[in-house]
Structure 1
Amino acid sequence: MIKTIEKYPVLTLLVVVLLVMLPGLGHLKVTIMEARNFITAREMLSDGNWILTTMNGVPRYEKPPLPTWITAMFGGMFGIQNVYVLRLPAVLMVWMTGSFTYLFSKTLTGNKRNSLINGLIAVTSFYVIGIVVEAPWDIYTHGFMIAAIYYLYKALKSFNIWNLVAASLLIACSVLSKGPISLYALLLPFLIAYAIVNGIKNKFLVKSILVLLVGLAIGSVWFIYVRIADSETFMKIATVETANWSSYNVKPFYYYWSFFIQSGIWALPALVGLLYPYMIKRVKLKKDYQLSLLWTIFAVVLLSLVPEKKSRYLMPVLIPLAINTGHYIFYIVNNLGKIKSSVEKIPIYFHFGILAFSAILFPLIAFIFFEEKMLANSTAFLIYCLGLLISGSFMCFFLCFKVGTSTLYSSIISFIFLFVTAIPLNPGFTNQNTHYKSISNLKSEAAKENIPVYSLDLISPEMLWDYGGIIPQIPELNQRYQMPNVERFGVLVTDTTLITAGAFNKEYTIQHKETYDINFGKYGTRKHKPRYVSNYYIFQRGLVKNIDNGN
Structure 2
Amino acid sequence: MNIIQEKNYVWILVIVCFFIFFMNLDVLYPNIMEARNFITAREMVTDDNWLLTTMNGEPRYEKPPLPTWLAAVAGMLFSFDNLTALRIPSAIITLILVLFSYRLGVYFLKDKKQAFISSLVLATSFYVVFAGRNGTWDIFAHSFMMIGIYYIFQFFSSDEKIWRNALLAGTFIGISFMSKGPVSHFALFLPFLIAYSIVYKYSNFKKKWLPLISLLIVATVISIWWPYYISVMDGETAKAIAEKETTAWKDRNVRPFYYYWSFFVQSGVWTVVAFVSLLYPYLKSRVENLKAYKFSLFWTLAAVVLLSLIPEKKSRYLLPVLIPLAYTTSFYLTYIFKSFEKKLPKFERIPIYINFGLIGLVGVAFPIVGYLFLKDRLTGFLSPFAITSIILVMIGFFILKYVIQRKIHMAFYLIIGFLMTAVTFGFPLANAFLDNPKYNSLQDISRKAETEQIPVYMFNIQSPELVWDYGGKVPLLHSHDLTIPKEKTFKTLVMIGAKKSLEEAFPNAKITYLETFDLNPIDSTKSGYKDRLRTDMYLIQHN
TM-score band by shorter chain is over 0.9
* Structure 2 counterpart of 1:117: 117
* Structure 2 counterpart of 1:326: 330
Alpha-carbon distance in structure 2 between the residues aligned to 1:339 and 1:373: 48
From the superposition, tell whether residues 209 and 406 of structure 1 become closer, same or farther in structure 2 (CA, over 3 Å).
farther
Matched, 1:194 2:193: no
Alpha-carbon distance in structure 1 between the residues aligned to 2:220 and 2:52: 20
From the superposition, tell whether residues 22 and 134 of structure 1 become closer, same or farther in structure 2 (CA, over 3 Å).
closer
* Structure 2 counterpart of 1:220: 224
Q: Give the counterpart of 1:313 among 305, 317, 321.
A: 317
Per-residue CA distance 1:431-487 (angstroms, 9 max, x = gap): 2321111001101111111222111111310000000000011244xx562211123
Alpha-carbon distance in structure 2 between the residues aligned to 1:289 and 1:114: 12
Alpha-carbon distance in structure 2 between the residues aligned to 1:163 and 1:339: 46
Alpha-carbon distance in structure 2 between the residues aligned to 1:135 and 1:313: 16
* Structure 2 counterpart of 1:452: 455
SS of the residue aligned with 1:136? coil
Q: Which amino acid aligns with 1:522?
A: D
Alpha-carbon distance in structure 1 between the residues aligned to 2:328 and 2:217: 29
- Whether the aligned pair in 1 keeps the contact of 2:21 and 2:132 (CA below 8 Å) is no
Matched, 1:47 2:47: yes
SS of the residue aligned with 1:380? helix
Count of paired positions: 538
- Whether the aligned pair in 1 keeps the contact of 2:264 and 2:275 (CA below 8 Å) is yes
Matched, 1:181 2:189: no
SS of the residue aligned with 1:309? coil
Q: How does 1:154-173 map to 2 (within 5 A)?
A: 154-158=154-158, 159-160=160-161, 161-173=163-175
Q: Which amino acid aligns with 2:177?
A: V
Alpha-carbon distance in structure 2 between the residues aligned to 1:387 and 1:212: 51
* Structure 2 counterpart of 1:527: 528
Q: How does 1:340-355 map to 2 (within 5 A)?
A: 340-355=344-359
5+ residue gaps, structure 1: 543-551
From the superposition, tell whether residues 455 and 104 of structure 1 become closer, same or farther in structure 2 (CA, over 3 Å).
same
Moved more, 458-467 or 1-10: 1-10
* Structure 1 counterpart of 2:249: 245
5+ residue gaps, structure 2: none
Per-residue CA distance 1:337-365 (angstroms, 9 max, x = gap): 12421111111122111111211111221
C-alpha displacement of 1:306:
1.1
Matched, 1:473 2:476: yes
From the superposition, tell whether residues 255 and 135 of structure 1 become closer, same or farther in structure 2 (CA, over 3 Å).
farther
- Whether the aligned pair in 2 keeps the contact of 1:40 and 1:53 (CA below 8 Å) is yes
Q: Give the counterpart of 1:497 among 486, 499, 505.
A: 499
* Structure 2 counterpart of 1:31: 31
C-alpha displacement of 1:503:
4.1
Q: Give the counterpart of 1:401 among 398, 405, 410.
A: 405
Alpha-carbon distance in structure 2 between the residues aligned to 1:67 and 1:503: 39
C-alpha displacement of 1:293:
0.4
Moved more, 35-44 or 378-387: 378-387
* Structure 2 counterpart of 1:431: 434
SS of the residue aligned with 2:205? helix
C-alpha displacement of 1:322:
0.4
Per-residue CA distance 1:264-317 (angstroms, 9 max, x = gap): 111111111001111111111110000000000111111111111111111100
Structure 1 length-normalised TM: 0.93
SS of the residue aligned with 2:522? coil
C-alpha displacement of 1:94:
1.8
From the superposition, tell whether residues 112 and 288 of structure 1 become closer, same or farther in structure 2 (CA, over 3 Å).
same
Alpha-carbon distance in structure 1 between the residues aligned to 2:540 and 2:133: 37
Q: Which amino acid aligns with 1:397?
A: K
Moved more, 489-498 or 201-210: 201-210
Per-residue CA distance 1:197-224 (angstroms, 9 max, x = gap): 1123252984666534421321211111
Alpha-carbon distance in structure 2 between the residues aligned to 1:527 and 1:402: 41
Q: How does 1:91-110 map to 2 (within 5 A)?
A: 91-110=91-110
C-alpha displacement of 1:32:
0.4
- Whether the aligned pair in 2 keeps the contact of 1:102 and 1:116 (CA below 8 Å) is yes
SS of the residue aligned with 1:49? coil
Q: Which amino acid aligns with 1:442?
A: I
Alpha-carbon distance in structure 1 between the residues aligned to 2:446 and 2:222: 40
Moved more, 205-214 or 178-187: 205-214
From the superposition, tell whether residues 481 and 129 of structure 1 become closer, same or farther in structure 2 (CA, over 3 Å).
same
C-alpha displacement of 1:80:
1.1
* Structure 1 counterpart of 2:300: 296
Q: Which amino acid aligns with 1:198?
A: Y
Q: Give the counterpart of 2:275 among 254, 271, 275.
A: 271
Per-residue CA distance 1:317-339 (angstroms, 9 max, x = gap): 00000010011111112222124
* Structure 2 counterpart of 1:514: 515
Alpha-carbon distance in structure 1 between the residues aligned to 2:5 and 2:416: 12
- Whether the aligned pair in 2 keeps the contact of 1:455 and 1:493 (CA below 8 Å) is yes
C-alpha displacement of 1:108:
0.9
Q: Which amino acid aligns with 1:243?
A: T
From the superposition, tell whether residues 332 and 380 of structure 1 become closer, same or farther in structure 2 (CA, over 3 Å).
same
- Whether the aligned pair in 1 keeps the contact of 2:166 and 2:212 (CA below 8 Å) is no
- Whether the aligned pair in 2 keeps the contact of 1:356 and 1:414 (CA below 8 Å) is no
- Whether the aligned pair in 2 keeps the contact of 1:106 and 1:115 (CA below 8 Å) is yes
From the superposition, tell whether residues 140 and 446 of structure 1 become closer, same or farther in structure 2 (CA, over 3 Å).
same
From the superposition, tell whether residues 63 and 332 of structure 1 become closer, same or farther in structure 2 (CA, over 3 Å).
same
Structure 2 length-normalised TM: 0.94
SS of the residue aligned with 2:536? strand
Alpha-carbon distance in structure 1 between the residues aligned to 2:438 and 2:458: 21
C-alpha displacement of 1:418:
3.7
Alpha-carbon distance in structure 1 between the residues aligned to 2:132 and 2:39: 16
- Whether the aligned pair in 1 keeps the contact of 2:444 and 2:470 (CA below 8 Å) is yes
Per-residue CA distance 1:514-545 (angstroms, 9 max, x = gap): 21111123124543322211111222331xxx
From the superposition, tell whether residues 354 and 41 of structure 1 become closer, same or farther in structure 2 (CA, over 3 Å).
same
Q: How does 1:381-396 map to 2 (within 5 A)?
A: 381-396=385-400
SS of the residue aligned with 1:376? coil
- Whether the aligned pair in 2 keeps the contact of 1:140 and 1:174 (CA below 8 Å) is yes
Alpha-carbon distance in structure 2 between the residues aligned to 1:481 and 1:47: 25
The percent identity for this pair of structures is 39
Alpha-carbon distance in structure 2 between the residues aligned to 1:449 and 1:2: 69
- Whether the aligned pair in 2 keeps the contact of 1:333 and 1:408 (CA below 8 Å) is no
Per-residue CA distance 1:390-438 (angstroms, 9 max, x = gap): 22222223222222332211121123224555544458x8223211110
C-alpha displacement of 1:100:
1.2
Alpha-carbon distance in structure 1 between the residues aligned to 2:517 and 2:474: 15
From the superposition, tell whether residues 203 and 480 of structure 1 become closer, same or farther in structure 2 (CA, over 3 Å).
closer
Alpha-carbon distance in structure 2 between the residues aligned to 1:263 and 1:241: 29
Alpha-carbon distance in structure 1 between the residues aligned to 2:440 and 2:222: 45
Alpha-carbon distance in structure 2 between the residues aligned to 1:249 and 1:378: 41
C-alpha displacement of 1:68:
0.3
Matched, 1:369 2:370: no
Per-residue CA distance 1:98-130 (angstroms, 9 max, x = gap): 111111101112211111111011010011112
- Whether the aligned pair in 1 keeps the contact of 2:255 and 2:311 (CA below 8 Å) is yes
- The alignment's C-alpha RMSD in Å is 2.2
Q: Which amino acid aligns with 2:531?
A: P
C-alpha displacement of 1:194:
0.6
